[in-house]
Structure formats: C-alpha cells, structure tokens
Structure 1
Amino acid sequence: MIFVTGGAGFIGSNFVRAWLAGGQEPVLNLDALTYAGSVEPLATLQGDARHTFVHGDICDASLVARLLAQHRPRAIVHFAAESHVDRSIDGPGAFVHTNVQGTLSLLEAARAYWLTLGEADRAAFRFLHISTDEVYGSLDPAEPPFTEDSRYAPNSPYSASKAAADHLVRAWHHTYRLPVLTTHCSNNYGPFQHHEKLIPRLIGNALAGKPLPLYGDGRNVRDWLHVQDHVAALHTVLARGVPGRTYNIGGECEKSNLEVARAVCALLDELAPAAAGSYERLIAFVPDRPGHDRRYAMDITKIRTELGWRPMETFASGLRKTVPWYLDRLRSRS
C-alpha cells in the first residue's frame, strides 16, 4: 500500500485515479477536504476495495501515526498543501500551518514509523514530497530556466511556506537518513482543477459572459504542465528516483497569461461559439497582485536523463483535452 496525503485535491486526486487505473497496489488517501479538496474526483473509486479514504488533517499526529501503524505503507506521497497564491497573500497563517507545520508533523510520524520497519522494508521505503517551481523565485525574460541547483528566492507567502517545507524534508534526509524524494512542478492544468485557477476561471467566466481578468499586462509567463504528465512523472520518481535527490518537472510549454487566455478563447470560439462574437472581447486587465513573479521556466534535463521521463502533451494538445472536459461538466450542471 501507498499513503497519499491531499489525495482529494486537484493533483492528488488525478494521481490516485491514475495509480489505481494502472493496476498498482492499494492507496490510503488522507485529505482534510478544505475549499480545495473534494470527493467528487474520487467518485469513480466508490466501492473499490483498493482505495481507503480518510477525512483528516496531516497536522493530527495521532491520527497519522495510527494510520501508518494500521496500514503499513511502503511509501508516503505528500501532496497536502495550501496552494493558492492570492489566498496566501490574504491569509498567510493557514499556509504556514498546513505547509510547514503539517509537513513537519508528517515527517516526524513517517520517521517514527520507518524506524519500526525491518531492514529490507526500511531500505525500500520512500517519502515523496511534491513542491513547486515558485520556491525559486522569478526569472527575467532572457534568464535560463530553473535547475535543481537554482537558489531559493520565494516571493509570496505560499512559495515561502513551500520552501520551508522543502528545507525540512531535506534536513530529515540529511540528519535522520529518511529516504526522501522532492519534486518541483510547474503550473498544472487539467480536469478537476479548482475554479479559482486561471484556466477553469477563464472557461467559466467566458461561458457566463463575464470578464476574463488578467493581472497587470497579462505577460507574466508560466511553464504549463498537463496534470496527467505530472502524475506520470511522479510515478517515475517514486519508482526510480534516488533518495535525497530533487527533480524538476515541467511541460516545456512557456506561455504568458495573455497567450493562455487567447488560446482558451480560440478553443471556446470553435467548440461553444457565442452569438456576441469571439470570447477574446471579454479579456480585461486588472491591477496586478502584490509581488507577482514575472516568469517561471523549468529545466527538466535531470529527470529526462536520469529517469527517462518527458512530457507527452504540448500545450495545444493538453488544452484540447482540457477545455472540452470543462464544457461537458458545466453543461451537465446547467
């Protein structure tokens, strides 16, 4: 069995569904079901004996210890986190609580459990920590992409809390020899993403005839990674990653927010045309958020050469899978 935290969130639920669809071993899934978590993505797993869902918090040390002792997982895959930058600006305390204190609590529970294992099981055990490219800070337009050796320079309460969690994970490997793996992913998109994120918000607002708000001049650049590519990379890292190492995961698809909005509008014009004309007419620029990073980009040479992973989706192919999924979902609810 593997133990997944945050497995009712966007990336976590996609990971759990893909893991079980691939015939892998059972999953113990712990999620606090905050605003960003939902059992809806897990509905297809109802009645599947390989999936055990527990509603609970990673900060609940006694609960986590009890689950580890009862289910005896061979790995922990740690997604659980507060992850919305705007929310972190409005309320940073929740991000420190979950991302820092929660990771600390989980690491300590994992270490105590790991020490109970026999020699072979201890050697095979893995703690996979999922982090973000945002811990590296912001790039100028001409700068090379982030590598695993890029210095940490987090600029938002969210990225600072994830950087702190990364440092804890690294320290637990260095000090206690806990066999950890850390990944840094770029911007994900795909099914079941929270409606506050850029692509779902663009689709929902466009169909409702509402403005499509873009911060500043809309030219902030992100590396876009389809969630199914991310999930496949995590499977690879868990299977073949070297304990103590960090792996960057990106889609090699740098796009500005304005380019993303125009691409979404073009697909909507094709798939759900509006009588009033192209959805691009709804794009609106709004005051920039505080400390908005200008550009992220990921160098994925390490995971490509060491582990043989590369993204399968281009931004165009991934978006053509994503927009129809949201269209079908919104139509079914209307």
Structure 2
Amino acid sequence: MNILLTGGAGFIGSHLVHRLLSRSEHHIVTLDALRYSGNLANLGDLDGHGRHAFVRGDICDQPLVEALIREHRIEGIINCAAETHVDRSLLDPASFVRTNVVGTGVLLEAGRRAGVRRFLQVSTDEVYGSVETGMSNEGDLLAPRSPYSASKAGGDVLALSYWATYRFPVVVTRGTNTYGPNQYPEKFIPLFVTNAIDDQLLPLYGDGRQCRDWLAVEDHCAGIEQVLLHGEAGTVYNVGGGNERENLTVAEQILACLGKSKDLLRFVTDRPGHDRRCAVDCSRLRGLGWSPQIPFEEGLRATLRWYQEHESWWRRIKSGEFRQYYEEQYRRRLEEGTACGS
C-alpha cells in the first residue's frame, strides 16, 4: 500500500513509520509541519530509504495534501498529526481545534475525493473523559474535559461521519497513555526522567493519585497496524496496555530506577479539568488478534535507559522553546508546591 502518514516526525508517528517500513513493502510518504514536537532526528536513519519520502507541510494545506495523494498514488492515510499536550491546550486551544479538527477534515475530504482505500484516525482514550469505575468501551458517550481531548473527539466524530455519509472506509484507534523512546519531554514520563537525571524537581499535579493505563509505543503501533490491515470500516478500536498505575507510583518508580531521592517530588496545584482516571476495554482489538506484549516495568526501564543514553537528543530540546514553556507552566507551581512527605 502507498501510505500518507501525517505527523510522522513526532513520537508515535515516527515509531509507526519505522514499524511499517520494517515489516512490509509499504511505500510511505511522511507529512509533518515540524512544529515544536516534530523532530527530523526521529527519522534520521531513513535518509535515502527507497520506500520512504519526507515532506514538510501542514495537514490544513489542502492543495498540498491533494497533490501528495495524487503524485504518490496514495491508497491509505494514517493521521497521526495532532496537537496533543493537555497543558498546552489550556494555553492555546485554537491551535488544537485547527490541527485536530480542521486538519482532519482536510485529509478526509481529500482522501474521499481521491478514492483512498483506507483512512485511519489515531486518537486518544481521553475523549471518554474521567472514568471513575469500570472501563470505557468504544460505544460509550464521549465526555472530553480539556480543549485537547475535545478537539480529538471532534476529529473522531468527523471521521466517523464520513463512513456514515459517504461510506468512506474510516477506522479510528483510541490509545491510552503511551510512553517510550523519542517522546517529547513535556509529557509525564520523559519530563520526570530528564528532570530527575539533572536533579531537578518533579512537578506532580494535585495529590498524584490520578490513574492512567500505560501503553508501550511498540504495542501501540502494533495495534494501529492491526487495525489498518484488519479493522472493520466505520469502527473504533481501543488500544490499551493493561497497566494501570497512579502517577505518584510511576514517579516513585522512575526515581528508584535512577537512584534518586523522593525529595525531588513536589505536589503542585492541579490543572483544570484533570481526568482522575482513564481505562479502556480492548476486547474489540483483541478480537483481531492483537494484545500488548511489553510489561510496564520492563518498558519503563528500557525507556529510562534510552533517555540516559541519548542526552544530546533531549538536552537540545529542553534548551530551546521548551524552556520558556516550562517556566510559564511550572515555575510558580513549584515555588508554591509541597514536598513529598510534608
């Protein structure tokens, strides 16, 4: 299949590009705007690869999207492009609506007009909102609680409408909290790992008891691939790791693995609309033959080793635009925070 994969220089997208190229004869065109979290270094080993081409561009650029579909005879689209960080969505919600809703609409319409055979929308379990008990299944009412999750829900609904209205062959995946190498260090695990390496404080929201299901990026990409190849059109598939952990527990594991003191932990003012718990039922995807393979403790240790061995990758990021964002987001919170055990 000739695939247009958007957001392929980001975290999940770059891992998916590598997986699809290594396991099949797909030809992949990666489209990425290379905004703050897109990083060409994530694709550096693919320079000169005969079945991969990189194009810098915006998914909202309709003429560009249409030209790429036409010129490369695209048969499948995987939309990994997204603004993804909840904290940033509180500061700039409009950019999330533009990319996650408008950009998805551009891709859908261009793909439909061109007769693309498969459209896979990569989404998030956060569209279900906070789940106090039980697990979210694909038919549950969407109840997003942040501009990020609301914009992703909007993209999902728009994508599924193209199946209902036009019978355009759309599938949607909703992944849980994903972690692994190359993840931009604004996210929970890489932020805490890199801060701990430098003996900097770790800002833990609220009481740290928020619970998430952690999913190794390799398992997430395997789930996406399974849905791409075998998913039923017009259907949503949850992708979860089966590794529910409280944020405080994960933070303490990170510190223990790195031999750092719990004194680095700071409980800080919680963010608005913070989901207390997220958990999904993955029975539908398991029915396609997929299951997560990487236990959380094993995956976490491997991730920590990667950040220890690739300091140049994340130090370059944390010295740039990230520093201004971090100061705005956390400086006052950390000054007013409470030490662990206080």
Report how far residue 24 of structure 1 moved: 2.9
Residue of structure 2 in register with 1:130 after alignment: 122
Runs of 4+ in 1 over 4 A off after TM superposition: 331-334
2-structure distance, mates of 1:149, 1:314: 27
Q: Secondary structure at the match of 1:224?
A: strand
Residue of structure 2 in register with 1:139 after alignment: 131
Whether 2:203 is the aligned partner of 1:202: answer: no
Decide whether the 8 Å contact of 1:206 with 1:279 is kept in 2.
no
Give the aligned residue type for 1:232: A
Whether 2:50 is the aligned partner of 1:58: answer: no
Q: How many residues are treated as equivalent by the alignment?
A: 314
2-structure distance, mates of 1:333, 1:126: 35
Whether 2:275 is the aligned partner of 1:293: answer: yes
Unaligned stretches of 5+ in structure 1? 115-121, 270-277
Deviations 1:76-97 (A, max 9, x none): 0010110000000011000001
2-structure distance, mates of 1:333, 1:7: 18
2-structure distance, mates of 1:19, 1:240: 15
Deviations 1:44-100 (A, max 9, x none): 101112110000001000000000011112210010110000000011000001001
2-structure distance, mates of 1:333, 1:286: 24
Q: Secondary structure at the match of 1:147?
A: coil
Residue of structure 1 in register with 2:318 after alignment: none
Whether 2:150 is the aligned partner of 1:181: answer: no
What are the equivalent positions in structure 2 for 1:21-32 lying under 5 Å apart?
21-32=22-33
Residue of structure 2 in register with 1:157 after alignment: 147
Deviations 1:6-57 (A, max 9, x none): 1011000000011112243111000000111010110010111211000000
2-structure distance, mates of 1:171, 1:25: 27
Q: Secondary structure at the match of 2:310?
A: helix
Deviations 1:270-305 (A, max 9, x none): xxxxxxxx3322011110001111000111111112
Decide whether the 8 Å contact of 2:185 with 2:314 is kept in 1.
no
In structure 2, relative to structure 1, the CA distance for the partners of 1:332 and 1:32 (3 Å cut) is closer
Give the aligned residue type for 2:121: H
Unaligned stretches of 5+ in structure 2? 316-342
Equivalent of 2:213, from 193, 198, 223? 223
Residue of structure 1 in register with 2:290 after alignment: 309
2-structure distance, mates of 1:3, 1:209: 41
Deviations 1:229-253 (A, max 9, x none): 0001111111110111110000000
Q: Secondary structure at the match of 1:104?
A: helix
What are the equivalent positions in structure 2 for 1:99-114 lying under 5 Å apart?
99-114=100-115
Whether 2:286 is the aligned partner of 1:283: answer: no
Residue of structure 2 in register with 1:73 after alignment: 74
Deviations 1:91-147 (A, max 9, x none): 100000100110111111111111xxxxxxx6xx1100001000001011xx11111
Residue of structure 2 in register with 1:327 after alignment: 308
Report how far residue 331 of structure 1 moved: 6.8
TM-score (norm 1): 0.92
1-structure distance, mates of 2:215, 2:11: 13
2-structure distance, mates of 1:265, 1:16: 32
Q: Secondary structure at the match of 1:43?
A: helix
Decide whether the 8 Å contact of 2:307 with 2:314 is kept in 1.
no
Give the aligned residue type for 1:81: A
TM-score (norm 2): 0.90
